Amino acid sequence: MIFIQQMINGLQIGSIYAVIALGYTMVYGIIKLINFAHGEVMMMGAYFAFLAASAGMPVWAVFLISMVGSALLGMAIERVAYKPLREAPRISALITAIGMSLFLQNLALVIFKADPKVMPRIIPTTPINIGSIQISNITIITFTVSVVFMILLTFFISKTKPGKAMRAVSEDKEAATLMGINANSTITLTFAIGSALAALGGILYALAYTQVAPTLGVLPGLKAFVAAVLGGIGIIPGAMIGGFILGFVETFAKAYISGRWADAIVFGILILVLSVKPTGILGKNVREKV
Amino acid sequence: MLQVQNIDVYYGKIHAIKNISFEVKKGEIVTLIGANGAGKTTILKTLSKVLKPANGSIILKGNDIKGIQPHDMIKMGMAHAPEGRRIFSQMTVLENLEMGAFIRKDSKDEQQKDMETVFRRFPRLKERKNQIAGTLSGGEQQMLAIGRALMSKPEILLMDEPSMGLAPILVDEIFNIIEDINKAGTTILLVEQNANRALQIANRAYVLETGKIVTSGDAKELMNKEEIRKAYLGG
Ligand SMILES: Nc1ncnc2c1ncn2[C@@H]1O[C@H](COP(=O)(O)OP(=O)(O)OP(=O)(O)O)[C@@H](O)[C@H]1O
Ligand SMILES: [Mg+2]
Residue nearest to atom 4 of ligand 1 (CA): B11
- B86-116 confidence digits (pLDDT tens): 999 999 999 999 999 999 999 999 999 999 9
Q: What is the amino acid identity at position A15? A: S
- B90 and A182 in contact by Cβ < 8 A? no
- B10-32 confidence digits (pLDDT tens): 999 999 999 999 999 999 999 99
Report whether pLDDT(B194) > 90. no
Q: Can you name the residues that pair with B11 across neighbouring β-strands?
A: B14
For position B142, what pLDDT does the model report? 92
Nearest to A172 among B88, B102, B165 (CB): B88
Contacts of A171 in chain B (CB under 8 A): 88-91
Quick check: pTM over 0.80? yes
**Mutation probe of ligand 1 site: the residue of B7, B8, B9, B11 with most atoms within 8 A of C-beta:** B11
State the total domains in chain B.
1
Do A46 and A40 touch, CB atoms closer than 8 A? no
Alpha-carbon distance of A284 to B40, in angstroms, equals: 34
What is the fold, at CATH topology level, of the domain defined by A2-113+129-276?
ABC transporter involved in vitamin B12 uptake, BtuC (1.10.3470)
**Interface contact B65, partner A, CB < 8 A:** no
Query: In chain A, which residues have pLDDT < 50?
Result: 287-290
Q: Which atom of ligand 1 is nearest to the CA of B211?
A: 14
- B135-185 confidence digits (pLDDT tens): 999 889 999 999 999 999 999 999 999 998 888 888 988 999 999 999 999
| ipTM, interface predicted TM-score of the complex | 0.93
In a domain, B193, yes or no: yes
Domain boundaries, chain A: 2-113+129-276
For position B235, what pLDDT does the model report? 58
For position B227, what pLDDT does the model report? 77
Nearest in space to B199 (alpha carbons), one of B171, B170, B220: B220
| Cα B152 to averaged position of ligand 1 atoms, centre (Å) | 27
| Cα A262 to averaged position of ligand 1 atoms, centre (Å) | 53
The C-alpha of A181 sits at a distance from chain B's nearest C-alpha, in angstroms, of: 6
The C-alpha of A194 sits at a distance from chain B's nearest C-alpha, in angstroms, of: 21
In a domain, B87, yes or no: no
Query: Chains A, B: CB contacts under 8 A, how many?
Result: 73
- B91 and A171 in contact by Cβ < 8 A? yes
Percent of chain B with pLDDT strictly greater than 90? 85
For position A270, what pLDDT does the model report? 83
**Interface contact B82, partner A, CB < 8 A:** yes
The whole domain housing B210 covers 1-77+189-235
What is the 3 state secondary structure string of A50-88? HHHHHCCCCHHHHHHHHHHHHHHHHHHHHHHHHHHHCCC
CATH of the domain at B5: 3.40.50.300
Chain A CA closest to residue B152 = A179
- B50 and A174 in contact by Cβ < 8 A? yes
Do B97 and A164 touch, CB atoms closer than 8 A? no
Nearest to A286 among B73, B80, B134 (CB): B134
Alpha-carbon distance of B180 to A209, in angstroms, equals: 67
In a domain, B200, yes or no: yes
- B74 and A178 in contact by Cβ < 8 A? yes
The 10 Å Cβ neighbour count of residue B41 is 19
Contacts of A165 in chain B (CB under 8 A): 99, 102
| Cα B210 to averaged position of ligand 1 atoms, centre (Å) | 10
Do A283 and A235 touch, CB atoms closer than 8 A? yes
**Interface contact A109, partner B, CB < 8 A:** no
In a domain, B42, yes or no: yes
| Cα A192 to averaged position of ligand 1 atoms, centre (Å) | 37
In a domain, B213, yes or no: yes
